Amino acid sequence: MYKTVLVTGATSGIGLALVHDLCRRGYRVYATGRSQEALTALQAETDCLGSTADLTDPTQAVALYAAAEAALGQVDVLINNAGANHRKALLADTTLEEFELQYALNLRAPYLLGREALKAMVPRGHGYIINVVSTCALRHPSPMGIYATMKSGLASLSQVMMKEGQPHGLKVSTLYPGGVDTPFRSEAKPYYMLPDSVATTIATLLTLPPDVIVHEMTFRPPFELE
Ligand SMILES: NC(=O)c1ccc[n+]([C@@H]2O[C@H](COP(=O)([O-])OP(=O)(O)OC[C@H]3O[C@@H](n4cnc5c(N)ncnc54)[C@H](OP(=O)(O)O)[C@@H]3O)[C@@H](O)[C@H]2O)c1
């Protein structure tokens, strides 16, 4: 049913594992991140297409979607996965620049890509948008306040995408992963979920029957109770 996938944040962590998993399953994948070196390595290891883009730049975000459509013919699945928390700090110690950077990457970019996807997918009556949020959007942790706020905004945006897309045959899923052991944070967390495990979990969504739509999915490593 779905043949082509655009994965953002594909040069590291969950997205990198996802591209490997999806390519092994036979999907045609368009991968993106900022690092040309990491993207070149990924393309040497898989048969994915791709290009670099800094998603904090709205022009690059919109152009990326067009590039993926041109390369794949059409994007069946958009996986809004790119994201970052740039620093842990109490709100009183944060800056406007940090707020705007978190907004640009974690909320504005998925909005722009999702908007482009809805414009293309709704007339086709076919497509799937998966938004990678975080359990931070449910827990509101104070030292990651701006990140959690933007992820909460993304969760809300994702629900709106569902309401606007589903009547036209689209699926939209809002994902709330708990801890994943990726370069997202500087220290290793071996008791967190493996990126490969998370990739398999996300890729499995694409194989569900057409009459089953996962609106929201929260999944955590065994030690996390909430
Ligand atoms: N790890 C966790 O515990 C966890 C838990 C819940 C949710 N998440 C979410 O899962 C998603 C993936 O995270 P991860 O753990 O895989 O982190 P990661 O290993 O740090 O990967 C982040 C990805 O986002 C890309 N990215 C960062 N800034 C970008 C920018 N300005 N423009 C374009 N791409 C950019 C990075 O590529 P470049 O560096 O090449 O630009 C990289 O491919 C994120 O949305 C994160 O919030 C993570």
- Ligand 1 pocket, mutate which of 8, 14, 146 (most atoms under 8 A from CB): 14
Residue 114 Cα, ligand 1 centroid: separation in angstroms? 17
- Does residue 90 contact residue 142 with C-beta atoms inside 8 Å? yes
pTM of the model: 0.99
CA of 94 to the centre of ligand 1 (A): 21
Tell the residue nearest (CA) to atom 41 of ligand 1. 34
Q: Is 12 in the pocket of ligand 1 (CB under 6 A)?
A: yes
What pLDDT does residue 226 have?
Answer: 85
Structural domain of 90: 4-219
Mean pLDDT of 88-109: 98
- Does residue 224 fall inside a structural domain? no
Look at residue 225 and tell me if it is in a domain: no
> Is residue 153 predicted with pLDDT exceeding 90?
yes
74 domain residue, yes or no: yes
Assess whether the C-beta atom of 198 lies below 6 angstroms from ligand 1: no
In a domain, 226, yes or no: no
Q: Is 91 a domain residue? A: yes
Query: What's the CATH number where 106 sits?
Result: 3.40.50.720
Give tens-digit pLDDT for 45-71: 999 999 999 999 999 999 999 999 999
Is the CB of 58 within 6 Å of ligand 1? Answer: no
Nearest CA to ligand 1 atom 18: 184
| Position 133 in a domain | yes
Average pLDDT for 16-21: 98
Kindly state the average pLDDT of the residues 111-128. Answer: 98
Binding site membership of 184 for ligand 1 (Cβ less than 6 Å) = yes
**Which pLDDT does position 173 carry in this prediction?**
99
**Residue 159 confidence (pLDDT) above 90:** yes
Count the domains in the chain.
1
